[in-house]
Amino acid sequence: MARQYWEQSFALAQDIQDVDFILVAHLQMGRLLFSLGEVVPALSHLNHCLALYKPPQYHPQSSIYGADAGVVCHAYMALAMELLGHSDQALRSSQEAITRAQELSHSFSLMYALSMAATLHQYRREETLTLERAEDTLDLASSYSLVPEITTGMQILRGWALAVHGQREEGMAQIRNGLAKWETIGVKLLQSYHLALLAETLGQGGQADEGLQALDVAEALMETSGERFWEAELHRLKGELLLIRGISDELQAEKSFRQALDIARRQQIKSRELRAAMSLSRLWQSQGKQSEARQLLAEVYHEFTEGFDTPDLQEAKTLLEELM
């Protein structure tokens, strides 16, 4: 339904040649396709949006829910680039969003840019930076009363970061509280992603069965909403939780890792392909399949040309060295 609406709006915008309308249509198509897991075409729309964007003034007619369109575009481009494996470019785009909002002296746009930066750092598994940006967002949001989606999302990210940092009980409480608020608000988008964060933290505490239950809910929501940008991670995390549960689940875990790998490849989401390859390689390593594990991981790792200081690529490099 949403896709059909924005496709029709995009066609109309082009017919009437309204630049602001075309810009917003490109941006909304980019955001929609991103959520559907179609990240490559999403980035194309976002690039078109940016080409039409004319700074330096804030234009309400080309804003998205009150945030400057250029800020939103740069912020979404950062997430898309990160998923596609362009981590250095992603950081630059995220900083562009923040800088643009600061130059405008537009508080809501800055809050949006900071919240998306927190999300970017979570994608990269950078818990300290996730926590910093989430708290920056919440500090700025305290003067607003109409942004529960942003503040609740940041509470969940803060909870994830705290849990990863070792403050597991506090972090879990914040994630659960955020999910409950999200349910109250009635927003379905991003719930599968947030539930995946919950499942991950449950797994870290050895609560595999509860984590698997959270993933079951996440998968059901994904099927309802069509939101598939985190689909590969849902399957990979399922495999990891099955391994935590015990050796008897190894075959099913391998199936989940292969599903994650296939989905990431189909979606061309290189960063999640790498994670799936690492999970499968570790499993094969534990089974004595050193050669297969090394070949799989090396093929994926050597396709990257940037982002070698990110946790995932550093971890992949270490694992490759172990497999030599």
Q: Does residue 39 belong to any structural domain of this protein?
A: yes
Q: What residues contact residue 315 under an 8 Å CB cut-off, 6+ apart? A: 278
Q: What pLDDT, on a 0 to 100 scale, did the predictor assign at position 133? A: 98
Domain enclosing residue 70, as ranges: 1-123
Q: How many domains does the chain have?
A: 1
Q: What pLDDT, on a 0 to 100 scale, did the predictor assign at position 145? A: 64
pTM of the model: 0.94
User: What CA dihedral angle connects 32, 35, 38 and 42, to 10 degrees?
Assistant: 50
Structure tokens at 147: 């942004």
Q: Does residue 110 belong to any structural domain of this protein?
A: yes
- Give every residue of the chain whose pLDDT is below 50, as ranges: none
pLDDT tens-place string over residues 186-203:
777 899 999 999 999 999
Q: Does residue 292 belong to any structural domain of this protein?
A: no
Q: What pLDDT, on a 0 to 100 scale, did the predictor assign at position 19? A: 78
Task: Using alpha carbons, list the distances in angstroms from residue 200 to 118, 172, 234, 235, 237.
Answer: 18, 10, 10, 12, 7
Write out the DSSP string of 217-266: HHHHHHHHH---TTHHHHHHHHHHHHHHH-GGGHHHHHHHHHHHHHHHHH
Please identify which residue in the block is written with the tokens 């505490």.
Answer: 205
Q: Does residue 37 belong to any structural domain of this protein?
A: yes
Q: Does residue 254 belong to any structural domain of this protein?
A: no
Among 268, 266, 264, residue whose Cα is nearest residue 280: 264
Q: What pLDDT, on a 0 to 100 scale, did the predictor assign at position 106? A: 87
Q: How far apart are CA 290 and CA 288, in angstroms?
A: 6
| Structure letter (DSSP) for residue 306 | S
Q: Does residue 105 belong to any structural domain of this protein?
A: yes
Q: Does residue 63 belong to any structural domain of this protein?
A: yes
| CATH number of 19's domain | 1.25.40.10
Q: Does residue 18 belong to any structural domain of this protein?
A: yes
Answer for the pair 141, 111: CB distance below 8 angstroms, yes or no: yes
Write out the DSSP string of 150-196: HHHHHHHHHHHHHHHHT-HHHHHHHHHHHHHHHHHHT--TTHHHHHH
